[in-house]
Amino acid sequence: MTTPAARAAIRPFIESEASYATTLVALLVDNCGAESLNWEPEIIVTEMRDRFDAKIPQDNLDKIQALSLVLTTNQFYSSLGAFMNVCNALGGDGVAFDQFDPADVMEMCWAVTEVLLNQPADQPLVDLFNGDIKAYAGVQAKLEGFHTLPKPLSLFAEFTDEYGKASEMLDPDMFKAYYDDGKAAIQDVEDVVKARVQRLMAQLSQIPLIHGDTEAWRKRGGTGLRVIAQHS
């Protein structure tokens, strides 16, 4: 049973939009059981209110629903619509079901990273994602001006490296500037992802769990919510 002190410690994580999906789902599963991954949003809202006297923001509810979808179905890998919704939600921008909201490179890179922290792939991502998703990720990267891919997208996206063609078309100085700009753009994305992973790890070290062990999750580099939120 959750103590008053634990409830008081958990409430800020539920109510803060800075909380990551992993943190929120870990708290939910730890306190409510694995069946909570299949709950309707209204039930989650009620449980957060009744258990922790917390009002969960819509963006946090979207994060929970998105990561729960990943953990209970194959839709993240098989449906372009689900993939984009998960990317938007895990990125913290919420899900707009009434309009088209393409997932950008940053959102895709973070979503793939957080998903892999929770659900390590037992085969290459390029084999898990369907063709529409692989093509979309590559096209979106080109639309945003990327000449090659940040590491998370390079695991699965269909993409033709532009540097070979550029090296033939540009003089050495122009090519160097082109290359340096491209590498800087990739580095910016990868630095953001790295910083978010560090913040996520910090959150997980702070949440009070009844059944889980956040340190075990940290030592294993992230190998599934069931490590940190597992009912006996």
Q: What is the pLDDT of residues 185-214, one digit of tens each?
A: 888 899 999 999 999 988 988 888 766 555
- Whole-number Cα distances in Å, 70 to 76, 117, 192, 200: 6, 12, 22, 18
Domain containing residue 95: 4-228
Closest CA to 25 of 142, 122, 118, 104: 118
What pLDDT does 224 receive? 46
Residue 138 in this model has a pLDDT that exceeds 90: yes
Q: Which residues of 197-230 are buried (b: 16+ CB within 10 A; e: fewer)?
A: beebbebbeebbbeebebeebeeeebbebbbbbb
Q: How many CB atoms lie within 10 A of CB 69?
A: 19
Query: Domain count of the chain?
Result: 1
Closest CA to 2 of 30, 26, 21: 30
What pLDDT does 145 receive? 85
57-66, 97-106, 206-215: segment of lowest average pLDDT: 206-215
Return mean pLDDT, the chain: 82
Residue 132 in this model has a pLDDT that exceeds 50: yes
What pLDDT does 162 receive? 57
Tell me which range, 19-33, 90-104, 163-177, 196-210, is most confidently predicted by mean pLDDT: 19-33
Could you tell me which residue, 143 or 175, shows the higher pLDDT? 143
